[in-house]
Structure 1
Amino acid sequence: MATEQTSNEGQQEKGNDNAVPNASLLTVGGFRNAVFEQYRKAKENAEAYPYVWGSYLIVYGGFGLWVAYRYKKLRNTEDRVRALQEKLRTLRQERESNVKSSVVKAAK
């Protein structure tokens, strides 16, 4: 039984040794090391599976281009609407000034 306890204790110590670096990754190594570690893992995965990452690039890159195109088209439409609103505003001001001047002339 004594040997079973020591082997269990040894396993618990190994488990704690594995848990300590993961738990203290942000505290001891800092945020920069954690980001670098994630970058390294992603880079290794991309090197191991280039076709998967290439398909992600094509799909999400195409989606990004489509969103950029639609955004540009929306902005152009907004600019045209603003220009038309400005024309209407100036026409309305001209009509109001004409109506006021005709009322003043009629009053004399």
Structure 2
Amino acid sequence: MTAVSDWVAVTRDDGETVGYLDSQSPDYDPVVPRNRLGHAVGEPQSYVDAEELLISRGIGELAEHWSLDGGGQALAIAELSPAGIVLRDALLAKALVPTEDVRVAWPDLDGRLTRFTASR
């Protein structure tokens, strides 16, 4: 893994960043495709294949609910930038009720955020 500052941003035609390429060698072959949160979303692969994967995935997952450290609370991403990831209680935020911000370092290389699954 290269330093985060060396990741190459992958953008769509509209200029939206959809992820990053994390080089595994000085010649960028192979690279690990990473989503906007910094999570690996595929195995090391060619630059072109990884770029195409990220573009096809898009950023829809950012609208999903997330769990922090395996907790049972559904969180929504309110902000995402190099300054950090800001999350809020998903139900309260949807109802526009003020809620306490939860902050996580960006990129989330420790995998603190996982997709929320409601227990039945």
TM-score, scaled to structure 1: 0.22
Q: Which has the higher contact order (CA 8 A, sep 6+)?
A: 2
- Between structures 1 and 2, the one with greater strand share: 2
TM-score (norm. length: structure 2): 0.20
Instruction: State the structure with more CA Rg.
Output: 1
